[in-house]
Structure 1
Amino acid sequence: MVLFGAKKTTKSPGYKGTSLEAIRHHYDFLGDFYRLILGPELVYSFGMWEPGDTLEAAQLRKLDHHAEAAHAVGAARVLDVGCGWGSLMKRLVETHHVQHVVGLTMSPGQAAWIRDQKWPGCEVRAENWYDHEPDGPYDAIVAIEAIEHFAGNTMWRAQRVARYREFFLRCHSWLRPGGRISLQVNAWNERGWFASLVLPVRPVTRNGDAGDSGRLWGVRGIRDIYDGVKNVREGLHASRKVFPECSLPTRAELIEAGQGLFRVLEVRSDREDGVRTVQSWLERGEANRARGAELIGERAVADILREQRAGLKFLREGRSTSLRMVLERE
């Protein structure tokens, strides 16, 4: 789960998103703690919850949703961008009868772990999507909470959209005609990252975004000002200690980036799924705090739990959401 990204990002044509150093910090070093709290499937993204669900059930439902939304069921070749520890790859082959899945991760530790599992039909590549050269066209592409690594908040909006468009251009070239992408993204509400953090909380609408409360910037109370400053402070902490070089997009940025390349079939804001997932992670994190300190140190564990508490607050208040989109190649 990514909250904020304030580290200066390179804006040259060679910029490829989050650096290998930052990836290794989060997924290889901090990942030793995350694996204590994610459950047996090692799914590191928001689940899809129904009443009475366990975390494990919600995660499997999420994986199945993306398989079906991307029309990956029974496909010959599927690409998983940001494959993590391979939970979707395994599910696609074993449950959804996909013949061959290619997973991309920049984490050497994740790639080695997947290779050690020796799952039939699963090929993992330790590489950036920017450098990916497929052996043949894909029938479907899934990217679950990967886009947060593609751009930085110090980029102007037009530059961020250009980075996302570069990804969609590559996906367009990799997919067969009519192929689909199923995306899941941690996203700010439509006000963008800074306004989402500092402006007063507004009532959450039915689509999961913050609505309009009618309160004006100039007449905010001291409590609102303090809350906005605290939100920025917590976001900066997460950026430095947990998710360096990452940022969240908005729905509008992603839709704009895909124009002329993909037709948007579905957009859904599942904020409550994020709330319930982070609540579960926090409970398991507190229960595994001592063991986590043995693995990565007490300070690092405290940083992760602090980031998750801030993320939970932002989700509850409608400052951020879990955005799910289905796109079809034009």
Structure 2
Amino acid sequence: MDAATAIRHHYDVGNSFYRLWLDSSLTYSCAIPDGADDALDAAQDRKLQFHLDAIAAASATRVLDIGCGWGAMLKRLSDSGVERAVGLTLSDEQAAYVRSRDYRGVDVRIENWLDYEPDAHFDGIVSIGAFEHFAKPDDSVVEKVRVYRDFFDRCRGWLHEDGMMSLQTIAYANMSRDSANQFVQQDIFPNADLPTFAEIATAAEGIFEIQAVHNGRLDYAWTCEEWARRLRRHRTDAVDLVGADVVARYEHYLKLSALGFRMGKICLLRIVLRPYSDRHFR
């Protein structure tokens, strides 16, 4: 199964299904809640703002979103006055949704980062929830690092010298890849393997300076639990849309994920990176 097929297996279940249990912006990644009783919409907005601040989006002209999902970040960039925001996705459903919104200055492309060739440099790059899909379960650690290093090298080439990158990814924590849950690997995210922080740091060495690292594993436990509550609340409608088996699969996946984050088996990394250049050492 290639990367595009694997992505569509999960994300092209149907926009209407995801709309039942995600927030109003259809943000399908870890939020930043302000307390256990926070509202999901507010928590997701806080997460988007974190990444916007990390790349200094307020003064940016061109921004690239790698793994743009249903376009929540692209909308924020458009609303903030960024002249051009480019989003990459491998999901037909997501791309169609973003295009239907007709956001000013937004260009969404069904394209793998491996094939992307921009026509100009960017002031900032954001990638939220895509990095988890770059490596395959049968890749060796050396092969994984090679893939990640290729990604960082390309991103460095796409950025202006003073540009910034903000990366968010799930990663292995107190668990080896051999202990990963087979249900999640085979039925939810096939053909994907999580990174470790060590692999990310090794791959970025000499290309990007890691300026900040935040571990939001409890944030993601909260997010998965909130998604699960919302899915249970709309279970009848969800079954009508995609069938009982699919709903049961997602309920099981959200429960396992929340437990994994709570136990520290997996974590959520938010990493702010600055490209190395001679100027930064003067």
Q: Structure 1-normalised TM-score? A: 0.80
Q: Which amino acid is 1:48 matched to?
A: I
Give 1:67's match in structure 2, choosing from 48, 52, 56: 52
Structure-1 separation of matches of 2:158 and 2:152: 10
Instruction: Provide the secondary structure at the position in 1 that maps to 2:26.
Output: coil
Give 2:222's match in structure 1, choosing from 276, 279, 295: 276
Instruction: Provide the secondary structure at the position in 2 that maps to 1:47.
Output: coil
Q: Which amino acid is 2:55 matched to?
A: A
Aligned position for 1:157: 141
Tell me, yes or no, if the aligned pair for 1:32 and 1:296 is still in contact at 8 Å: no
C-alpha spacing 1:191/1:236, structure 2 compared with 1 (3 Å): closer
Runs of 4 or more off by more than 4 Å in structure 1?
none
Structure-1 separation of matches of 2:204 and 2:174: 17
Aligned position for 1:256: 202
Tell me, yes or no, if the aligned pair for 1:238 and 1:303 is still in contact at 8 Å: no
Aligned position for 1:212: none
Percent of residue pairs identical: 40
Structure-1 separation of matches of 2:208 and 2:5: 32
What displacement does 1:185 show? 0.4
Tell me, yes or no, if the aligned pair for 1:140 and 1:181 is still in contact at 8 Å: yes
Instruction: Provide the secondary structure at the position in 2 that maps to 1:328.
Output: strand
**Are 1:76 and 2:61 an aligned pair?**
yes
Task: Identify unmatched segments of 5+ residues in structure 2.
Answer: 277-282
What is the CA deviation profile of residues 35-74 of structure 1, one whole-angstrom value per residue up to 9, with x for unaligned ones?
2100211000000111242010000000010011112223
**Are 1:184 and 2:168 an aligned pair?**
yes
Aligned position for 1:24: 8
Aligned position for 1:309: 255
Aligned position for 2:246: 300
Instruction: Provide the secondary structure at the position in 1 that maps to 2:166.
Output: strand
Greater RCO structure (CA 8 Å; 6+ sep): 1
Q: Which amino acid is 1:189 matched to?
A: A
Alignment of 1:137-152 (within 5 A): 137-152=121-136
Structure-2 separation of matches of 1:307 and 1:31: 18
Give 1:86's match in structure 2, choosing from 68, 71, 81: 71
Tell me, yes or no, if the aligned pair for 1:38 and 1:44 is still in contact at 8 Å: yes
Q: Which amino acid is 1:147 matched to?
A: F
What displacement does 1:26 show? 0.9
Structure-1 separation of matches of 2:138 and 2:248: 26
Give the RMSD, CA atoms, in angstroms.
1.4
Tell me, yes or no, if the aligned pair for 1:74 and 1:99 is still in contact at 8 Å: no
Alignment of 1:53-132 (within 5 A): 53-94=38-79, 96-132=80-116
Q: Max radius of gyration: which structure?
A: 1
What is the CA deviation profile of residues 155-209 of structure 1, one whole-angstrom value per residue up to 9, with x for unaligned ones?
1111111111110011011000021110110111165323xx4xxxxxxxxxxxx
Aligned position for 2:275: 329
Structure-1 separation of matches of 2:105 and 2:227: 30
What is the CA deviation profile of residues 235-267 of structure 1, one whole-angstrom value per residue up to 9, with x for unaligned ones?
211222221111211111111101110001001
What displacement does 1:31 show? 4.9
Provide the aligned length of Structure 1 versus Structure 2. Answer: 275
Tell me, yes or no, if the aligned pair for 1:190 and 1:250 is still in contact at 8 Å: no
Structure-2 separation of matches of 1:271 and 1:181: 21
What displacement does 1:92 show? 1.5
Tell me, yes or no, if the aligned pair for 2:175 and 2:266 is still in contact at 8 Å: no
Aligned position for 2:154: 170
Q: Structure 2-normalised TM-score? A: 0.94
Structure-2 separation of matches of 1:249 and 1:237: 18
Structure-2 separation of matches of 1:192 and 1:99: 43
Q: Which amino acid is 2:201 matched to?
A: I
Structure-2 separation of matches of 1:32 and 1:21: 20
Tell me, yes or no, if the aligned pair for 1:33 and 1:301 is still in contact at 8 Å: no
